[in-house]
Structure 1
Amino acid sequence: MAGTGSGGRAADGQTLRWGIVATGRIAHRVTRDLARLEGAELYAVSSRSEGSARAFAEEHGFAASYHDNPSGSGYQQLFEDPRVDVVYVATPHAQHFEVVRAALEAGKHVLCEKPFTINASEARELVQLAGERSLFLMEAVWTRFLPATRRALEIIRSGGIGTVRWVQADLGFPAAYDPADRLWDPAAGGGALLDLAVYPLTWAVAALGFPAGLRAQGHLNQDGVDVQNTLALEYPEGAAAQLTSSLQSAGPGTATISGTAGWIRTGSPLYNPRKLEICGQDGTIRVEEFHEEAEGFIHELRETARCIRAGLQESPLMPWAETVQMMGLLDQAREQLGLHYANDARAVTT
């Protein structure tokens, strides 16, 4: 249940000053949508590099930039700035726990890029800390907030395709091997599972709920990073989901939700579909299209701002319990795949 908090500035209608942690590709994309958000001020950015921080600030119009130096990390300096109200964390996965914890300890509201953490233990710890500090915290699974996703769920929950019995979803692309790239770097939480499988899982869980069982198959490369995986989700009374994510091969990148009275298929890519195909019991297929001025991140940003202004600690659309439970599913899959990261050692000792 979402709570009420007193941390940070959160008055109705008040401008929220945003800080951005990290300056990679996803940070640029999200910031372009943030610039369109009503009541948002692009205030500060941090990076390990002074050049990256200043270039990002100049490109997007931030008032302040911070970088690593002898006095401390760039993100810690950003968190110490009392003018920052809320931060968006766009670092590689393995750094999420450390950075989000520091932000919460400094009294900042947080929107953290997916996957929320490396494992469920880290996720539980951050949720507990946010609760103790009366701060807003949310995983940035932008797909959950998109108009197409919300419309698909509306159809499903209204019985428009009957009882859902089967979900199939895939996401993959052939990524050139580069051990220095975060996709392939085990120290950064690399691999197809944590980077891509969140999206097929999002559609399966939205349509069928969390499964009673999970079976994972896949292949690890010489660095111990998964290059491809298949997840089979098992539900009572035989409902099922088959999900694939890959850094080796391209696929249609769609989700199909099949029910006893019809089906829904998303456009591609399933993480940001602009259309839905809906087939009713009579076999007639209709198409619903969704047009966006912005790229699509604005919906999760708007929800973040709405919740902060309302004094909520968690979003009813992306509650903490579901984030922790999703990380638990990924933990199960990793255990079956033999996929382990350095962060797991900390979880064992705490």
Structure 2
Amino acid sequence: MPAGTLAPFVAASLDAAHLDEPLSPTGRTLGWGVVSTADIAEKVVPDIAALPDARLVAVSSRDQHRAEDFARRHGVERAYGNSAGATGLERLAADPEVEVAYVATPHGYHHRDVSALLRAGKHVVCEKALAMTAAEVRDLQDLARGHGVFLMEAVWTRMTPGFRTAMGWVRAGRLGRVHSVEASIGMHRPVDPAHRLFRNADGGGVLLDMMVYPLTWTGAALGTPRSWSARAELGDTAVDLDTALTLDFGHGRGHVSGTLAATVPHQVVISGTEGWLRVDGRINCPTTLVRQSADGARERAAPVVEHVEVTGGGYVYEMREATRCIQQGLPESPVMPWADSLELVELFDRVRERIGLSYPNDRR
């Protein structure tokens, strides 16, 4: 990507007028299925339900009672748990009224679950990471292509109003030419071998769970790095507890980090020739943006603070984008294209090799 330009997905996001009014319908009503009753599904499903052109048809879980409880609380029409003849996922995939499925299972199950849905002819929106390795992502994309269905990794940040506002400032030249992006995310969390974040087989750790967010910001403003270095701390459960990447873009630099081992500020700082921009708090769905111009810095003026309103839990924007794409017959989203999902997981594969992290049945 030439110096001074933004990634193509940024233009697609900024020019997506439907994201300005995410609760306005963009076409016919779609029947949704929800795979898993995990915590993230509890947060995301109310935003799907808020879409006027969405209908919550079914939810699946390994446990029938858990599926029924989730369905009752979220207004889902049918609940599918494991039965003697089929799993909850298989029962959902066989439901003819489910057109698109939102997959909220842990990373380690994504390839299995998404494959089953694609083979059943369902469109799929899958939580990040789309799969654990580049080989698995390529396989899913080949399946989606072969079955003529939509597939999108749910990197919601790209569609949120805070991200779009920040990138609008960058595109308008308010920062001048961007030279650096620094971003951090994480928390101190006591090791719990039973939790997905600390289970190697589930793709636990920082890399797959957190690093997509800081890398979204470097990728947007600087593109693809030409070289990088990594450091990481691996825990007793064979997941990365603390990972940092230093990125060289030729025309700029980046430093991104994620951690489960320390209390850190969630923050992004984008610095350019004419000013800087800071995202405070939720870098995955920003609500507070701080901007300082070069003139303001010289004059010691106070930075400009802008608060950004977010609809619902902030997931409604990615679900509006997926809905619009499916309604229009698109196989992938221009805001979250397949090539970007593959490029990111290819980087993760190389990082894992560098830091000595592997998964069971590793496919690269």
**Normalization by structure 2: what TM-score?**
0.90
TM-superposition CA deviations, 1:60-116 (whole Å, max 9, x none): 111111111221211111011111010000000011011111111000000000111
Aligned to 1:68, which of 71, 79, 82?
Answer: 82
Partner of 1:251: 264
Amino acid at match of 1:243: V
Runs of 4+ in 1 over 4 A off after TM superposition: none
Aligned to 1:81, which of 95, 101, 115?
Answer: 95
SS of the equivalent of 1:311 reads coil
1:300 counterpart = 2:334:
no
- Report matched runs for 1:87-236 at 5 Å: 87-236=101-250
TM-superposition CA deviations, 1:39-75 (whole Å, max 9, x none): 1111100001111111101111111111112212111
Contact 1:12 1:309 in 2 (8 A): yes
Distance, in Å, in 2 between the alignment partners of 1:83 and 1:36 is 19
Amino acid at match of 1:216: A
Contact 2:36 2:59 in 1 (8 A): yes
Shift of 1:224: 1.2
Distance, in Å, in 1 between the alignment partners of 2:146 and 2:170 is 36
Distance, in Å, in 2 between the alignment partners of 1:176 and 1:32 is 30
Amino acid at match of 1:289: H
TM-superposition CA deviations, 1:193-249 (whole Å, max 9, x none): 111111111111111111111211011112211110111111114x11111100011
Aligned to 2:27, which of 13, 35, 51?
Answer: 13
Shift of 1:259: 0.9
Contact 2:279 2:290 in 1 (8 A): yes
- Report matched runs for 1:318-329 at 5 Å: 318-329=336-347
Distance, in Å, in 2 between the alignment partners of 1:215 and 1:248 is 20
Contact 1:254 1:267 in 2 (8 A): yes
1:290 counterpart = 2:308:
yes
Aligned to 2:54, which of 40, 44, 49?
Answer: 40
- Count of aligned residue pairs for this structure pair: 337
Higher mean displacement: 319-328 or 276-285: 276-285
Unmatched segments (≥5 aa) in structure 2: 1-7, 10-24
SS of the equivalent of 2:27 reads coil
Distance, in Å, in 1 between the alignment partners of 2:354 and 2:140 is 25
Distance, in Å, in 2 between the alignment partners of 1:328 and 1:213 is 14
Partner of 1:29: 43
Partner of 1:8: none
Alignment RMSD (CA, Å):
1.6
**Normalization by structure 1: what TM-score?**
0.93
TM-superposition CA deviations, 1:268-314 (whole Å, max 9, x none): 02111102111122125212221124010000001010111111111
Partner of 2:294: 281
Amino acid at match of 2:343: Q
Amino acid at match of 1:313: P
Higher mean displacement: 132-141 or 18-27: 132-141
Distance, in Å, in 2 between the alignment partners of 1:209 and 1:67 is 43
Name the CA shift for 1:71/1:312 in 2 (closer, same or farther; >3 Å). Answer: same
Distance, in Å, in 2 between the alignment partners of 1:158 and 1:320 is 27
Distance, in Å, in 2 between the alignment partners of 1:90 and 1:12 is 24
Distance, in Å, in 2 between the alignment partners of 1:171 and 1:220 is 17
Unmatched segments (≥5 aa) in structure 1: 3-10
Higher mean displacement: 76-85 or 152-161: 152-161
Name the CA shift for 1:12/1:231 in 2 (closer, same or farther; >3 Å). Answer: closer
